[in-house]
Amino acid sequence: MPCFNRKLSWVLLAMVALTIDVAQSLATNTEQIEVQAEDGNQTVEGVVLVEAIDGGVLLEMADEGLKLIQPASIVSRTTIDRPAVPESPRELGRRILGELPPGFDLVVTKHYLICFDTSRAYAQWCGALFERLYDAFGNFWRQAGFPLTEPRRPLIVVIFSDRQRYAALAAHDLGSATDRVVGYYNLLNNRVTTFDLTGSDMLAKKPSLSPGRTGLEILMNPEASGLVATLVHEATHQMAFNCGMHHRLAPVPLWVSEGVATYFETPDLSSERGWRGIGIVNKPRREHFMKTCRPGMLESIVLGDEPFRRADDAMDAYARAWSLTYFLVQTRKHAFVSYLQTIAKKLPLEDDSPQQRRQEFITAFGESPTEIEGPLLKFMARLK
Ligand SMILES: [Zn+2]
């Protein structure tokens, strides 16, 4: 189940949102901020994304992490005149390796920085999958009339070879949900973290194996479908938050971000590379939707995010998010893109309300969530 990252992320967001009352602006100044801490003052440097009325700031640091700084802890702020010089991917990678347990190495691809303690061939296979997804994601939205932007920095993915080492690190982010979460995108540090679900890498540790050979072995594994879906799902979230589709910590309705991720996640194991298509019917999500659909189901996910956060309702909510997104992309693509563009304008820590969500939905699609249930059900019933 690859989606609990959102639960984590929005729990964190809720904590952050409670701390800053009003987000004033999205600034772009690079600053050095001296911050009071228990063990002495520290200086942090980054771009101030949001400045609250009470003086608190949301800072995006060079390692892509977001840091909320309370007004009471700010000792001084200095705007830096020189333009920020970004680290090279390898410099950034070496810094991240310093935070990870021993044994990790780097693969750098065109858009990704992959930190791995699997075999290099396995990490390269994952990198090739991510790059295919990256190109397909950009092409899909460009053709739909929503050209995306290039990410400002490499997209960081951390892949563990075994579950225990992954769990030791993930527990810090996921807490008690760690057992159920096999990969996640963390909005705060902007990273995807996962492990080799198939265990096939134990075979691939032999250095003579090529990425292509490794790929074949991976896809023969019974867990291959879950592996590909998890990698693609979480990488889709990461792209959406780094290519102009959503802002991190903005009030992006979960049905939209999960709808987009589930729209793309469907593996295609008939392709030797494991994933090639967009818009393949997601059979498990469709079956779950048909079994659990009921009146009022769309209102509950469009107006609020709670169904995604409740363990008992989450599977239903994800199935509905996929179904609604699939239906809208297939039958009202122009309106869906217009809706995504409305969501893309939402800034970090902006206010949100059920009324506003309903109105934005009606403005884009011309009907309320309840009115769309009938056409959606008919469409899903006919879908093979
Ligand atoms: Zn998700």
Span from the CA of 32 to the centroid of ligand 1 (angstroms): 34
Cα separation, 120 vs 350, in Å, equals 42
Cα–ligand 1 centroid distance for 48 (angstroms): 27
Summarize pLDDT for 336-365 with one digit per residue, the tens: 999 999 999 999 988 899 999 999 999 999
Task: Please report which helix (H) or strand (E) contains residue 105, including its range.
Answer: strand 105-108
Q: For residue 55, how far is its CA from the centre of ligand 1 (angstroms)? A: 33
What is the pLDDT at residue 311? 86
Per domain, the residue ranges of the chain are: 4-8+86-246, 23-79, 283-382
What spacing in Å lies between the alpha carbon of 231 and ligand 1's midpoint? 11
**Cα–Cα distance for residue pair 22/56, rounded to 1 Å:** 10
Span from the CA of 259 to the centroid of ligand 1 (angstroms): 8
User: How many CB atoms within 10 Å of residue 77?
Assistant: 16
In this prediction, residue 181 carries a pLDDT of: 85
Confidence of residue 71 (pLDDT cuts 50, 70, 90): confident
CA of 156 to the centre of ligand 1 (A): 17
Q: Give the pLDDT score at 294.
A: 94
In angstroms, what is the span from residue 237 Cα to ligand 1's centroid?
7
For 154, which DSSP code? P
Please report, rounded to a whole number, the percentage of residues in the chain having pLDDT higher than 70: 84
Average pLDDT score over the chain: 85
54 C-alpha to center of ligand 1: Å?
Answer: 33
Residue 234 CA to ligand 1 center (angstroms) comes to 6
**Confidence band (pLDDT; 50, 70, 90) for 269?**
low
Of 5-19, 86-100, 188-202, 242-256, which range is least confident?
A: 5-19
Q: Of the ranges 1-15, 35-49, 243-257, 306-320, which one carries the lowest mean pLDDT score?
A: 1-15
CA distance 135 to 124: 17
The CA 40 to ligand 1 mean position distance, Å, reads 38
Assign 134 to helix, strand or coil. Answer: helix
Ion ligand 1 residue ranges (Cβ < 5 Å): 3, 6, 258, 261
Please give the pLDDT value at position 3: 40
Q: Find the mean pLDDT for residues 310-323.
A: 95
Q: Name the token pair of 70.
A: 């309370």
Per-residue pLDDT averaged across 164-175, rounded? 89
pLDDT at 60: 87
pTM to 2 decimal places: 0.87
Domain 23-79 fold: SH3 type barrels. (2.30.30)
pLDDT band at 274 (very low <50, low <70, confident <90, very high): low
Residues 31/62, Cβ–Cβ less than 8 Å: no
> In angstroms, what is the span from residue 260 Cα to ligand 1's centroid?
9
pLDDT digits (tens, 9 = 90+) for 4-36: 333 334 334 433 433 333 344 455 668 889 999
| Domain 4-8+86-246, architecture per CATH | 3-Layer(aba) Sandwich (3.40)
CB 346 within 8 A of CB 247: yes
At residue 66, does pLDDT exceed 80? yes
Q: Do the bridges between strand 191-195 and strand 23-26 make them parallel or antiparallel, or are there none, so unpaired?
A: unpaired
177-225 confidence digits (pLDDT tens):
888 888 999 999 999 999 987 775 554 455 545 656 667 677 777 777 7
